[in-house]
Chain A
Amino acid sequence: MESLDLAAQSVRETNQFFHDLSSSDTREFEILHPNGAHNIAVGLDAPVKVHIRGHAGYFIAGMNKQAEVTIHGNVGWSVAENMMSGVVRVNGFASECAGSSGHGGLLIINGDASSRCGISMKGTSIVVGGNVGHMSAFMAQAGYLLICGDADHGLGDSLYEAVIYVRGKIHGLGADAREEQMEESDYTKVNELLEMTEFNYDPKEFKRVASAKTLYHWSPNSKQFAVL
């Protein structure tokens, strides 16, 4: 495994090194001394494996394509935001907006994720081993958010077609989000997501949350009026 040391080179140089790789490079790298730095391993587009050894800052592994990035620590805001493909793993906890706007790929967070996890996701899959904070999956358009712990209030507010599975307690659903019956296809999907992680739970323990679709079209009978 090749080492890149952030005590000796900048994040910009490190990211440029990754951007210059062939898009079929399969090597394995480790990044030392992240010390909470932002934007590490952003914009990767090669099937490489990258290990970040320690706590990292904002936007880690953003816009990821193909790469498998593992953070051996915690991350700040917006880890794996706008991911297209590949896998991002966080061994610790993740701050706000984890996996936001992602189009594809898989984000696995072993610990808790903070508020707004999966906000505006567009097809990515997110698996959280612990709890998620408030307003998670806000306006999520497509993809799956699987939560092995509890979900804080405002879960799935203004959801589109994304689906949320929650194993623990739901402390409050957002506008237009509702709990629905688990179907066979849901158990299959939950199992498929769990299979890609190290979490061993029975899919039968999970609840399904999806959009009630009452906000999809304007209705003259809804409470959407202005007080004049």
Chain B
Amino acid sequence: MCGIVGLFAKNSEMRASLGSYVVPMIVCMGDRGQDSAGLAVFSEQNSKNSRRINLFSQDSTFPWDTLSEKLSQEMKCDFDSIDNHAVIIATEDPQHIIHWLSEHYSELFVLSIGQAIDVYKDTGHPLEIAEKYKFNELKGTHCVGHTRMATESAVTPYHSHPFIAGEDLCLVHNGSLSNHHNLRRMLEKRDIPFETDNDTEAVCRYLQWRLREGDSIEEALQKTFEDVDGFYTLLIGTADRIVLVRDAFACKPALIAETDDYVAIGSEFRTMAHLPEIESAQLYEPKPEEIYSWKV
């Protein structure tokens, strides 16, 4: 099954408490999947030069303080951690940091890189994950989240959504893909590396490839309609956009609620029933193979 949620805040008040609005959304979607959950939050960029690198450690007692100390001897950076999750904020070339991490801490998993994106994902019920990483304190312009009921690959934090494709781009998916092995073979020949054997990662990497080749997101999604076979509702987050599409059959649910203050996206109305002014929101379902997009 799986559940997807998205929230796009149009005003500063809502952005300041984005997390508190999205927590009931993602917890509610625990009914559609409680193997794992994840959330990507996009915040307004403070500096054009700095990058945020989100890290995950399988070991909850990982010595983040030691890492922070060692890293600060190498470069000027900010560091923050909570439980299995940490974020490095630095102006240093992110590839240099990734290389340094792989040499010194190869057990760490890079969740995301970008100017605006932070990604949290882990196994367990979304309620536990939301509490563990204090989702209700998160601030930002928009976010996309997912609750997973695994059907085709292992239940691990790495197989959880959101998946990332390059900087400041992530994707969550409700559905199942039938040609993901073919896509993977095609993309690996084109030097697009994979991190898991998950079907959603294939469509995410497909977008990464099309964007690398110079497509806009719209062009990449038009090609996705032709090349990606299966059922899907895809919700994509970038630094300044949230984008939603469904496959030609549109048999995986999605609902959009729009008001002057926000755009909420969810698998079911229940996810958004708590949002302010929901009774007067414009509610509609996205049509098959149409691209819906909102820009900050």
Q: List 26 A-B contacts (CB under 8 A).
A: A35-B273, A35-B274, A36-B268, A36-B269, A36-B271, A36-B272, A38-B270, A54-B279, A55-B269, A55-B273, A56-B269, A57-B268, A58-B268, A74-B269, A76-B253, A76-B268, A77-B253, A92-B283, A93-B283, A93-B284, A95-B285, A114-B285, A115-B251, A115-B288, A134-B250, A134-B288
Bound complex: CA of A168 vs CA of B170, how far in Å? 40
* Residues of B with C-beta under 8 A to A55: 269, 273, 283
Report the interface size class on chain B: 10 to 19
Chain B: residues with CB nearer than 8 A to chain A?
249-251, 253, 255, 268-274, 279, 283-285, 287-288
Say how far B186's CB is from chain A's closest CB, in angstroms. 25
In the assembled complex, A37 has its CB within 8 A of some CB on chain B: yes
In the assembled complex, A157 has its CB within 8 A of some CB on chain B: no
Q: Per DSSP, are chain B's interface residues mostly helix, strand or loop, or mixed?
A: loop
In the assembled complex, A96 has its CB within 8 A of some CB on chain B: yes
Q: Per DSSP, are chain A's interface residues mostly helix, strand or loop, or mixed?
A: loop
Say how far A157's CB is from chain B's closest CB, in angstroms. 12
* Residues of B with C-beta under 8 A to A37: 270
Q: Smallest CB-CB separation from B274: which chain A residue?
A: A35
Bound complex: CA of A74 vs CA of B251, how far in Å? 18
Total of A-B residue pairs, C-beta within 8 Å = 45
Q: Smallest CB-CB separation from A95: which chain B residue?
A: B285
Bound complex: CA of A114 vs CA of B271, how far in Å? 20
* Residues of B with C-beta under 8 A to A58: 268
Bound complex: CA of A35 vs CA of B268, how far in Å? 11
- 7 smallest A-B Cβ distances: which pairs? A36-B269, A36-B270, A35-B273, A36-B273, A55-B269, A114-B285, A115-B250
Bound complex: CA of A133 vs CA of B284, how far in Å? 13
- Cβ B250 vs Cβ A76 within 8 A: no
Report the interface size class on chain A: 20 to 34
Bound complex: CA of A85 vs CA of B66, how far in Å? 70
- A64-96 CB mask vs B (1 if < 8 Å, else 0) is 000000000010110000000000000011011
Q: Smallest CB-CB separation from A114: which chain B residue?
A: B285
Bound complex: CA of A95 vs CA of B255, how far in Å? 9
* Residues of B with C-beta under 8 A to A36: 268-273
With most chain A CB atoms within 10 A of its CB, the pick from B250, B255, B268, B269 is B269
Bound complex: CA of A134 vs CA of B250, how far in Å? 9
- Cβ A76 vs Cβ B288 within 8 A: no
Say how far B206's CB is from chain A's closest CB, in angstroms. 25
* Residues of B with C-beta under 8 A to A76: 253, 268-269
Q: Which of A29-61 contact B (CB under 8 A)?
A: 35-38, 54-58
Q: A36-B269, A58-B268 are in contact. List 5 more A-B contacts (CB 8 A).
A: A55-B273, A55-B283, A76-B269, A93-B283, A134-B288
* Residues of A with C-beta under 8 A to B268: 36, 57-58, 76
Bound complex: CA of A77 vs CA of B251, how far in Å? 10
Bound complex: CA of A92 vs CA of B253, how far in Å? 18
Bound complex: CA of A35 vs CA of B250, how far in Å? 24
